[in-house]
Structure 1
């Protein structure tokens, strides 16, 4: 766990939407450890009760089983809340290509419901999960917040629309908003199962079973893989900042280095072989490139450092070591 997180006022009541998901459950846990009152809104479509089961006994934790597509659920969840960390969404580019309607209903209509409920409840600030997919076909490297391209998937469109709506609510209604463009987040509690599992937990699970993971393409596509504790730090900084210049805008949330898939596989094998040397001989299969995938992704985090004091502690290697240890302890 990151011991360099900013301190929040323990009196804050914070709503985490999607609080049973990978990022949301880590946020709930961190906030409760800080002494905050936490409400978790989740419909468990992708979130898991086991991610938050250990929090049920905490008197400062409230679980609201509801759906952001239902405005009444959003309004109920926002009552008495100081800040919102909006993580609820249907992730995954392939999922959005297979089912664009549901992705739009959750990520756009659900997002708008949450903005309306936050505005009406006079919440102090609405911090939301944006996405690096917003950069689309932009060839600029590294990615800087004010230069984006055309979206390459329905998912990317939904996350860009989130930014547009947040901007309008800031200007029209005075709701303070901060968008966090996550870059390939990984770490403890990330689900390795299912058709839309993220690459790191999926590959870890396959290696542990001596199964050959499939790399889409020749393995040269690269990502700015971002460990969960860096993401937690940014969410907390977005709550505590009193810098007016830092509000009503978006930030990259990343480490600021890129790793290609071939390099990633090499690191996973190295770190997993500490626990099981036989993993080193598991082969890798190369398949076709995936529709909608961005070839390369690298973030500039200068804006976050300057305006929020962001100071990411985990690069890909230190983050992977932590993640592999968690998966080995919890999933073996």
Structure 2
């Protein structure tokens, strides 16, 4: 295949680009490097099958040229920070909805057959059914981030049905691993580096969520895409997560243990019943039964993924 990966120099995007290159595909990465890094894809820059385009999806000429001649677009470009929604909803809308609309407009005039989009578990909000299946309704995001992801999903589905391409949408749990530069594990490590004797923990520590290592994520995306492309659905949705979940306090304990520290935990108490911030979903675990039916299953559970990620980040931070 000839593949375009938007956000391909970022955390998940660069791991996806690695896997696509290792499988022998032609890969074009479009990234403005606002969150990504050339270091993440440096190993491929001199490869004939690899092309890096530094550019912004909001530029019509840039994105139109980027989609030329590709068979599938993996759309991962976005602002990954959930918490920014309370301070700058405009930025989240622009970096999730606006850029998706620009990409879809470019695809409308091209012969791209498939679009794969990384959405988020936040589209479910405070789901009353846990583990939460893909057909859960009504979808009621409680953060601007979740709302922006849901808006992007709706646009993609509408464009796919109207303009003749097929769309696969992944709703991701918390994805962690090497090259991540945000999130609870990253924050804990940096806080403990600054003050080894104390660790501030947002919320009451009882927040419980599912975590998936990026290696399992990329494997799932590619395996399910192969399953999807052999079918006939115009648009389909898959959760990617784990069968178990882990509390924020347990993550803090693992990070402290791996760093050889015994800090005093200081909980902020949080908002709205112990959440870390306004819009934080306190309990999240996705049903992955639909994904498992395609033959995919995560190799690492949430606890194993957290511990492996801590060790990976400690090598570079």
The reply to whether TM is greater than 0.5 is: yes
CA–CA separation in structure 2 for the residues paired with 1:93 and 1:25: 20
Q: Given the alignment of the two structures, is residue 63 of structure 1 paired with residue 52 of structure 2, yes or no?
A: yes
Tell me the TM-score normalised to structure 2 length.
0.91
Deviation (angstroms), 1:284: 2.0
Superposed counterparts of 1:114-125, under 5 Å: 114-125=103-114
Q: 2:236 aligns with which of 218, 232, 249?
A: 249
Deviation (angstroms), 1:211: 6.1
Q: Given the alignment of the two structures, is residue 294 of structure 1 paired with residue 275 of structure 2, yes or no?
A: no
Q: 1:189 aligns with which of 161, 179, 190?
A: 179
Q: Given the alignment of the two structures, is residue 200 of structure 1 paired with residue 181 of structure 2, yes or no?
A: no
Give the match's secondary structure for 1:152.
Answer: coil
CA–CA separation in structure 1 for the residues paired with 2:28 and 2:22: 14
Alignment correspondent of 1:169? 159
CA–CA separation in structure 1 for the residues paired with 2:206 and 2:124: 19
Deviation (angstroms), 1:247: 5.2
Residues 54/213 of structure 1: CA separation in 2 closer, same or farther (3 Å cut): farther
Q: 2:206 aligns with which of 188, 210, 220?
A: 220
Contact 1:79 1:121 in 2 (8 A): yes
Contact 1:222 1:259 in 2 (8 A): yes
CA–CA separation in structure 1 for the residues paired with 2:202 and 2:209: 13
Backbone CA RMSD of aligned residues: 1.7
Residues 329/137 of structure 1: CA separation in 2 closer, same or farther (3 Å cut): closer
Q: Given the alignment of the two structures, is residue 303 of structure 1 paired with residue 290 of structure 2, yes or no?
A: yes
Give the match's secondary structure for 1:266.
Answer: helix
CA–CA separation in structure 1 for the residues paired with 2:7 and 2:180: 13
Contact 1:17 1:86 in 2 (8 A): yes
Instruction: Could you tell me which runs of 5 or more consecutive residues in structure 1 were left unpaired when the two chains were aligned.
Output: 1-11, 192-196
Alignment correspondent of 2:2? 13
Give the match's secondary structure for 1:67.
Answer: coil
Q: 2:119 aligns with which of 130, 138, 143?
A: 130
Alignment correspondent of 2:274? none
Deviation (angstroms), 1:189: 0.3
